[in-house]
Amino acid sequence: MTDKSGCDEKKVEDDATCARNAEKMSGGPTVTVYPSLWCPEGKAAHRFRVRDDVSAGAKHAETENSTDGIARQSVQCRCSSHNQVPRYYRKVSAAQTSGLILGIESSCDETAAAVVRAGQQVYSNVLASQIALHANYGGVVPELASREHLRNIVPVVRQAIEQSGFTLRDLQAIAVTEGPGLAGALLVGITYAKALAFGLNIPLIGVNHLEGHIHAVLMEARQRADAPMELPLLALVVSGGHTHLYLAKQSRQGAWSYQNVGRTVDDAAGEAYDKVAKLLGLGYPGGPWIDALASRGNPRAVPFQFNPIKPRAHRPGISLPNKKASYPEHSGPSFDFSFSGIKTAVLRYIETHAMKPAIDRRRAALAELSDPKPADAAALCDAETLDLLASFQYAVVGNLERQAFAASEAFGARGIVVSGGVAANRELRQRLQAEADRRGLPIAFPSLALSTDNAAMIAAAAWPKLLACQFADDSLVATPQLRLG
């Protein structure tokens, strides 16, 4: 049977069956999908609405005039006259939407899900960490990380929904990290998010992981009701996999744009922390261990230095371009980073000062403990080791400080935001805050809980995209080398 718009009701029923099957595959509750009439062109067309499938005698509480987020959403019209029409073509405003977004993060070694309203109010933020697993190897093993994500994704999302006090039908959109990160790990989160969004018939929003870190700081600033920082902002994103400087701006419509003005050309700062900690027989991740022990040593005992980075000319057919180098190529001062040199300098210091036997003893002693902590390592470190750790951290933080403030001055930034896992480092916070105060420049850091990877930051970064109708389609895939800006 065909209605006035030419829609085949049998086709609608088939689509409803697909939606139910996708929801079952996603691990969520079964949903009922049924058609109603609505079309952006004023013609009669089919629209799906979703509700939880409770008992057989449950009533359909939703009506056409319901203000429920999902009940008022439209889906792609399956009529022959409306092929290729996006599922969500209406403009969305803050007044028209509940703003509830489910964020999903699985870019590396942590599976996370969170429910956030309007990029500000966090109702739940659930995290399943894999640190204990990867600590046995001194770093993240991609294959093991992907398998853990497969085990954790369903229970983590379910717990996030339960803790939020809402149901799946209350969600307005689903946001998921599309990159950068580990390919297999990203794929788990994206596949689950796509299935869930299809089953619930709500928009899917792809979010850059680095943008999420920036919005973690902005979200908490809104929660504190701080006066908005003047734009443009310089964002320092520093973690185990990334060390970047971005000039962040916001349009009048609320959309954010980013210009990459500096990045590491080799190791990230957090990666250098992990490698140095491993060289000295300490635990993983190395950042918290070195941060805790560095305060016990002399930061000027070993004079580590960072020299200016000289760009290497690319010679076609002879040398390959550095994919991590800044893009596009520019003349003038460079605000790039390099941390592979200081890692090698620490290794050479260990070798020339015959520290290897003491390191082996320390590593063996910590291996005998069921749950070793930095405090346990303090008694196993001599003065030379503590001085080496303090000098390493002093040099790394100094380099981050110099480059960040030099870039902020060069580009006329009106404030600085610092985010990423290394943003939890106490010396980094203290020295950057002191320098910002000296310059009279506003600076903001995330809380310790939101410094590392989490899903609340992904949901927060998706809020401006929801308002701008920047939705992902079925072609969304994992992009391990995804760039921002």
Task: Give tens-digit pLDDT for 21-38.
Answer: 444 444 443 333 323 222
How many C-alpha atoms does 10 have within 13 Å on its Cβ side?
A: 2
Burial profile 179-205: b = 16 or more Cβ within 10 angstroms, e = fewer: bbbbebbbbbbbbbbbbbbbbbbbbbb
Residue 199 lies in a domain: no
pLDDT greater than 60 at residue 301: yes
The 3-state DSSP class for residue 260 equals strand
Radius of gyration for the chain, computed over Cα atoms and rounded to the nearest angstrom: 25
Answer yes or no: is 460 within a domain.
Answer: no
Complete DSSP assignment for 34-68: EEEE--TTSS--EEEEEEE---TT------TT---
In the block, residue with structure tokens 């959309």? 255
Q: Facing residues of 234 across strands?
A: 247, 416
Domain count, the chain: 2
CB neighbours (10 Å) of residue 437?
Answer: 11
Bin 420: left if φ > 0, else alpha if -120 < ψ < 50, else beta.
left
Q: Evaluate if pTM is beyond 0.85.
A: no
CA distances from 373 to 170, 291, 292, 293, 346 (A): 42, 12, 10, 11, 22
Which bin fits 230, alpha (ψ -120 to 50), beta or left (φ > 0)?
Answer: beta
- Which one-letter amino acid corresponds to residue 341? G
The CATH number for 388's domain is 3.30.420.40
Q: Which of 441, 465, 480 is a domain's end point?
A: 441
Determine the 3-state secondary structure of 248 from DSSP: strand
- State pLDDT tens for residues 151-188: 999 999 999 999 999 999 999 999 999 999 999 999 99
And the tokens for 126? 């659930």
* Mean per-residue pLDDT of the chain: 82
What is the model's pLDDT at position 332? 60
State residue 82's pLDDT score: 34
Higher pLDDT, 319 or 332: 332
Residue 316 has pLDDT above 80, yes or no: no
Residue 123 forms part of a structural domain = no
Q: Strand 256-263 to strand 243-250: parallel, antiparallel, or no bridges (unpaired)?
A: antiparallel
Tell me, yes or no, whether 348 lies in a domain: yes
- The neighbour count for residue 73, using CB atoms within 10 Å, is 23
The 3-state secondary structure of 398-438 reads HHHHHHHHHHHHHCCCCEEEEECHHHHCHHHHHHHHHHHHH
Cα(217)–Cα(420) distance, integer angstroms: 10
CA–CA separation, 188 and 145 (whole Å): 10
The answer to the question of residue 231 being in a domain is: no
C-alpha 377/C-alpha 372 separation (Å) is 8
Q: What are phi and psi of 52, to 5 degrees?
A: -65, 140
Domain of 327 in residue numbering reads as: 262-313+323-441
Q: What is the DSSP letter of 170?
A: G
Average pLDDT for residues 376-397, to the nearest whole number? 97
* Residue keyed to tokens 């210091």: 349
- What pLDDT shows up at residue 322? 53
Cβ contact 12:44 at 8 Å? no
In a domain, 434, yes or no: yes
- CB–CB of 462/108 below 8 Å? no
In a domain, 187, yes or no: no
Domain assignment present for 245 = no
For residues 66-95, average pLDDT: 37
For residue 400, how many other CB atoms are within 10 A of its CB? 24
